[in-house]
Amino acid sequence: MNQIIRKYRAAAAGLALLIASGLAGIASAQTTQKEDAAPTRSRADSGEIKSCVECHEGFYAIARTKHAVKGDARTPESTGKSLTGNPEDKMCSSCHGDLSAHLKTPRVKGLVPVVFGKKGSAEPQNEACLGCHQSGSRIHWQGSKHEQTKQSCASCHRLHAPKDPVMVAETQASVCFDCHKDRRAELHRVSTHPTKNGFFSCSACHAPHGSTAQRGSLQKNTVNETCYTCHAQLRGPFLWEHRPSQDDCTNCHNPHGTNIAPMLKVRMPYLCQQCHSTAIGHSNVAFDGSTLAPTSGSAQRILGNACANCHMKVHGSNHPSGARLQR
């Protein structure tokens, strides 16, 4: 029995020794961490220059973007100069400007020449971006709607993101909807383009950096030219034209969506009667619910496709007998 008791006492003493050594190790590690952290704080207070990544580690996803391509002489990675001696910092000064003062006193606000995002003014941000991105679709930026409303490039683009959401068809609309909330509502109606599903982006029709279009910053000069990019079968020319459709598609359609297929502003026959006077044609009385069967024989003029039940070539006809757009 005495031997068993001595064995248990020895085991308990060993366990106590292990616990004590473990606690001592934890305390030593905490002391070491404090000692390691102290120089970092003192360097920042003393003005010693640190690498950008030490404070802005989360922003270094930019290393996986086109801005960081070393083989392209046009990128910030190739043209930038590191002020800290760390090659990872080469891109920062290319866009943010001279960071010498900020690196010496990083806690003092207002020392970064170009601050991107909502905290910075739009003009220096856009000037920094247009220094490289002035060509191509950006040549119409000056005077565009977004420029006039003081929007910066960073209002839409995520410069440090490997995949910029506004450059991906599936996520582009969500970026545009941050400002264009009325379009978000329209695109959730019954009849719309497949924008919310990612098959059709806003930039398929609109030029966000400005254009020479008559209105809407469209990719093409007119509404119809823009629509014909996809709906080429409606371009014409037709032997018998339906003037409203050849003039402007939005006379009848709302391209962002309606509750009437196919994106009609008003249900037929009321849409047609906005232009076609009821004083001539089939009747001198506007078609309405009172003309339904069995009280009237005009049911075919209001049910289904209404006017298009007979006049189905509403965009124009090339048939020799298609003067009334019936064939």
Give the residue among 281, 280, 286, 266 at the shortest CA–CA distance from 311: 281
Contact in structure between 317 and 238 (CB atoms under 8 Å) = yes
Distance CA 272, CA 243 (A): 13
- CA atoms of 133 and 131, how far apart (whole Å): 6
Digit-coded pLDDT (tens) for 239-293 = 999 999 999 999 999 999 999 999 999 998 888 888 887 665 665 556 666 666 6
Alpha carbons 163 and 297: distance in angstroms, whole number: 60
- What is the structure's pLDDT at 115? 92
* Phi, psi (deg, nearest 5) at residue 218: -80, 160
pLDDT in tens, 90-140: 888 889 988 888 888 888 888 999 999 888 899 999 999 999 998 888 999
pLDDT over 60 at 187, yes or no: yes
Closest CA to 253 of 204, 315, 185: 315
The span from the CA of 47 to the CA of 103, in Å, is 8
pLDDT at 32: 43
Cis peptide before 294 (omega within 30 of 0): yes
Q: What is the rounded average pLDDT for all residues in the chain?
A: 82
Angle at 109 between CA 104 and CA 114, to 5 degrees: 90
- % of the chain exceeding 70 in pLDDT: 78
Is the pLDDT score of 18 beyond 50?
A: yes
Provide the total of helices (H) and of strands (E) in the chain, helices listed first: 11, 2
Residue appearing with tokens 């392209």: 72
In this prediction the pTM is 0.74
Single-letter code of the amino acid located at 300: Q
Query: Predicted confidence band at 294 (pLDDT cuts at 50, 70, 90)?
Result: low
- In angstroms, the CA 230 to CA 276 distance is 29
- pLDDT band at 39, cuts 50/70/90? very low
